[in-house]
Structure 1
Amino acid sequence: MKKNVYITGYLPLFSIILFSSAFAIHIERLLISKLKFFGVYQGMRELFSAQTIHLSAGFCLFLLFFMTFAALKLLSDSCMQLGLFFFSMDKEGDTLRLTRQGGWIFFGGAMAAVVLNFSLTIILILFAASALVYFFYFLLKASTYMNSVNIMGMVFLQLFFWAAFGLVTAYTVVRLYNALMAGIAS
């Protein structure tokens, strides 16, 4: 029986769908409880059925998380391949073929996140743990084509990129929040 090398090609999509579902389910429950607490939910019930409110909120949250995770996957793949371009001695793309099986790591983490969606902390821990385990898996597989200096360069490139991305995102959110609060206060 011939082995199909493309069998894991669907795993990133399913992982994104499952992580998005886990986050959306948890946040939707939290959103509905906050709407009830502030008294907005009852007014919405006069216009829409409960199922419509829950489905609409859940779908919008799913879409938001799906787009976020898809963008993060695109950034991650680009950063990984840029790191391979700079630091790998592989010229044929064997490193990418070796690391393709790592999609199972995210898939397993995503399945666990769907099952354990009652806590946002657990979902975040599962996502971070999946990313960290995948990164070490990637470094282990890529070390075939890298020496220790190149591996350190790859690690520092990843750390620099994600730290810069996180800081720019946090700065933008804080500035947006401050502008919103200043607009409300005046």
Structure 2
Amino acid sequence: MSNRYITSHFPLISIVLFSLAFAMYSQTLILNELAKLGLYEGMREFFSENGIKLTLLFLLVLFFFMVFSALKLIADTTIELSMLFFSKDEEGNELNKAKAGSAIYLVASIIALLLSSELLFMIIIFLGASLIYFIYLVYKLTDAFHPAGLIGMIFFHMIFWSAFVLAVAYAGLKLYNSFIASLPL
């Protein structure tokens, strides 16, 4: 008999590693931009170089940790909502079968950390891990659904995440356009 809590810390470790990977990339990008703008030298008058790098890394890790934690919370909520709407499992026992799938994100976060200098690879790794986890989830939960319920769950997730990504992209585009329009000619 295995202890189901063995993998309970995998999501936290995955979030920390993904956050660190994206923060390391962002730190390099921000420091390069600050140097191009001539602000980095002025900052070094008040802080040591290592102090600037560590403070920036800490703040970026914290930012990405909040983003990935929010995404995990949203994902867990949508999974449980889809189980509520479409599953024949009322006890929640079937969902426990898929908890071991968090190892997918753990492996992906380690790979992302190793490739932290390549933003495109990190994004592909994260999206690929999410797709693989969703396929794993559907496979593990197949017994808890009628065929129509399984199709409903898949479409529920596809529609939700598509709407979420489009809403975030639209808000970002609107913010970018208002920023560009406010710049003096």
Following superposition, the deviation at residue 38 of structure 1 comes to 1.9
Task: Note the alpha carbon deviations across 1:136-159, whole angstroms, 9 max, x for none.
Answer: 000000101113221111111001
Residue of structure 1 in register with 2:62 after alignment: 63
Using the TM superposition, name which of 36-45 and 66-75 deviates more. 36-45
Read off the aligned partner of 2:126 and give its amino acid letter: F
Following superposition, the deviation at residue 72 of structure 1 comes to 0.4
Read off the aligned partner of 2:84 and give its amino acid letter: F
Identity %, equivalent residues: 39
Following superposition, the deviation at residue 164 of structure 1 comes to 0.9
Read off the aligned partner of 2:32 and give its amino acid letter: S
Task: For structure 1, list consecutive stretches of 5 or more residues without a partner in the other structure.
Answer: none
Residue of structure 1 in register with 2:182 after alignment: 183
Following superposition, the deviation at residue 44 of structure 1 comes to 1.1
Task: For structure 2, list consecutive stretches of 5 or more residues without a partner in the other structure.
Answer: none
Distance 1:100 1:93 in 2: 12
Q: How many residues align?
A: 185
Following superposition, the deviation at residue 61 of structure 1 comes to 0.9
Residue of structure 2 in register with 1:26 after alignment: 25
Using the TM superposition, name which of 41-50 and 14-23 deviates more. 41-50
Residue of structure 2 in register with 1:109 after alignment: 108
Residue of structure 1 in register with 2:37 after alignment: 38
Distance 2:29 2:11 in 1: 27
Following superposition, the deviation at residue 183 of structure 1 comes to 2.5
RMSD: 1.3
TM, length-normalised to structure 1? 0.95
Residue of structure 1 in register with 2:138 after alignment: 139
Residue of structure 2 in register with 1:48 after alignment: 47
Following superposition, the deviation at residue 128 of structure 1 comes to 0.6
Read off the aligned partner of 1:116 and give its amino acid letter: L
Distance 1:146 1:38 in 2: 57
Matches within 5 A, 1:56-135: 56-135=55-134
Following superposition, the deviation at residue 20 of structure 1 comes to 0.2
Read off the aligned partner of 1:169 and give its amino acid letter: V
Read off the aligned partner of 2:161 and give its amino acid letter: W
Distance 1:124 1:89 in 2: 35
